[in-house]
Chains A and B, each alone.
Chain A
Amino acid sequence: MASAATVETPNVTDPSLYLQGIPHDRFARIRATPSLAWHPYENGGFWAVTRHAEVRHVSRNPELFSSAIGHTNLWDLEADALEARRSLIDTDAPDHTRLRRLVAGAFTPKNIRRWEETVRAITGELLDEFVAQGGGDWVDMVAAPLPIQVILTMLGVPTDDADYLVELSNYLVEGTGDAQSIPPDAFGNTTELRLLPFNSPASHALFEYGEGMRQQRQDDLRDDLVSHLVRAESDVERMSRNEYRNMFHLLVFAGNETTRTAISHGALALAANPDEWQRVLDDPSMIESASEEILRWSTPILHMRRTATADTELAGTEIAEGDKVVMWYASANRDEAVFEDPDKFDVGRFDVGRANSDHFAFGGGGPHLCLGAFLARLEVNVLLEEMAKRSICLEQTSEPVRARSNFVHGVLSVGMRPAGGSN
């Protein structure tokens, strides 16, 4: 299996590496290897897929590279744990198609546009408070509350619970690393951790919350996403109870944590590159392109894993059935073969409206395309529009505290101050 690897592959999985940011130099070395690199992991290893073209190949050929076998994270799960934890993320067609279609309607470009004024109102309020306070923790004040308030509004979950659900999300991020700070019985959990998403007792709490919502809506159906799921769940052919709870969990977690990450790295990039933000202020028609660049730059999810369903070949490397194949979006988004000067933050890079926004912030181009891609775009676009309207330039006032995770490119806190701001 490891025959192709003659040069030692630099380690890119140690979660503590990511406390200093994505190890881009290590990924660049792996990208320079013509074959795929074999990366040791636990008692085995995986093929590290780091170039754009090959990530795309893996993502777009799900019949060869399965999401339903083993796990979509680096480590394998036991069969019962995989079943208990299985969400939209960990399925192949036809289950994936069935589950995806249940929720896809809420997230189409046309239907997402209906939320624009809601997003704008929430964003404006948060920015006005940020300016009034003279800045503070950007994550607490803007990056976290914006997406959680929007997704909860769509779901029909009371936004009063936003702080609690962000707290749970933070514990879930910890669970993707190697340092869970809460005990196994936190939140009254009695389930074995291996049966819970991200091995976290916070998943138990989120399941309980979702079950509470389900029971409320069962007797009081409304025009919201939870009611839509409850209707589907009433027909087990469409959605089982376990699928409901994992879907609720996914919508809350992925619907807030990932966009929070994009908005956090966006602020860091705009503060570090004031000339690039000035280009946007001078020409607001660049906002959509700038949003795409922020998405490429932030790569909120660093990788996803697939498992080969048959012997196959990629980049001159023989992959055996059952091998783990890991798509490193964090690397593909800096692939010099696709992005000119990839380590430069360039708000004019993408020609929006046409087709070249070919970054992998939403996956590698295959069927597991991020369900919330158009929602995330709307949120980042509206944020930039409202910042531009207020002439807010960001000045960084403290170093970011980053998540200890090789999976989520999270920022826990970073100080920002509004400069400019006057007319």
Chain B
Amino acid sequence: MESAGRLDHNGELSLLEFPYIIRWREDRCTRCGKCTAVCPTKAIEPSAMVQRIIQSDGATPLPDTIRRVSHIIRQVCDIDRHCVGCGTCSLVCPNMAIVPEYNPNHKFLFHKNRGGVPYKRGGRRNDPATSTIDKLKFTRISMLTDPALDAGRHEFHIRTLMGRIPPAESLQMRTEGNRLYLAEDGFIPPVREIFPIRIGGMSIGALSPPMWEGMAMGVAYLNEVENIPVVMCSGEGGLPPRLLKSRYLKYFIPQIASGYFGWDEIIHALPDMIEDPAAIEIKYGQGAKPGDGGLLMAYKVLKLIAKIRGVPMYVDLASPPTHQTKYSIEEAVAKMIQSVSMAWGFRVPVYPKISGTKTALAVLNNLARNPYAAALTIDGEDGATGAAFNVSMDKMGHPIASNLRDCYLELVKQGKQNELPLFAAGGVGKDGHLAANAAALIMLGASGVDIGRYILQAAAGCFGDEKNRCNLCNLGKCPRGITTQDPRLYKRLNADHVAERVVDVFKSAEVELKKIFAPLGRSTQLPIGMSDALAVTDQAIADRLKISYVC
């Protein structure tokens, strides 16, 4: 006889506490075992169940009760093996017999801290609500008084500038006859003309080899074949040695962050570089986890990653929250920008990336006074990450829209809005509206935007969403093979297919940007700061962003 305590199962979790509940249909299941084999968290397992069946075999009803042992798929009620809703089971099921369903009444966060370890995950802020940038509309439509442009036939210049742009007043010009020439001397900061949507920093390590290679191939193709100059940031973790010495380096932005992972190899490759990189990004902060450094967990540090980063295998690679050798913004930023600039002979734009914060204006003002600062990237709270504490992702950070707008308007006040380009990141394309989000941020004052998770979702089918679906990136168990170093998993991903999709994404984004800019009557230059084109149906947002309210 079991004790009462064991019979009532009190102290255990019921399925209703879990964020996803598996719906399994016995009548369709062939017991092939594929679903249990692919489940990344082992949330389902084969099990046996006794069934009571009433049957009648004769010519006249003669019900008979029998008990039969049946093989089933059971969802386990272990918090460490919770179903993440990725749906890989559905993907492999030949008979559509299984699917996870979201449980809006779950109590997952009440329990996911066993052993005193807070919940860590990948992904972005779990907030499925429409973001501010997605609420913005483009309402200044050219109608009759100023005919709209033709997105299909007119020539559009969907490009932006990355690098410090000298103010016109400071350009050293001389007039000869009726012509202007550049005076011989004077430092002209390096500037790159790029597509205004960049692939933001995601490291080789956080991403699997086929994912990173696929994106890199896509970027190279976009530049060399499609004439769309997309650039891609390495994230913290270096670049493959062959890429460093290749002519394709010019499409990449190596990132230097507080752990300096990969930089020994980069510096040693300098003499062999045949091209300069597009820029150098100094990461001071990340929107998804302000105050945290990068984190690559031990099970992702395999041979290739260890070699590129110059570290032993299978150790946690946690970058400090800040650059430890620096103690003040005046010294820290200026010295880092100058020393990194010097490494490439001042031929490469060097800019910082910070997480969205109320103190962004202080950083901005510092950069505005530093003539070597090439830009500023601000990463808002909706930025994604490969690994962070859930509390950091959900509750820390600053929305990008007002942070960017404040910075742009501050530059306008100083007359430097064309001098120091702002790049906005964090939640761009969160709901799939990549071009619209990018255009809205540009009209709020951004020179360009960064995407991260969007490209993983669009190019490789990342399952993650803002209802905490999947978000296993930190564990190296990515069922799509995107954020894993496990060859059994990343073999599922085809780098060529990723590259194709990257090309699709940027080609279609360019068309959509034209479809936005054409009715606004803009084509020659990116409409940076053209805030009269924007409106929103929320008065408070309109007031805060200094744009029109419409209803």
Do A and B interact? no
Taking Cβ atoms with an 8 Å cutoff, the residues of B that contact A are: none
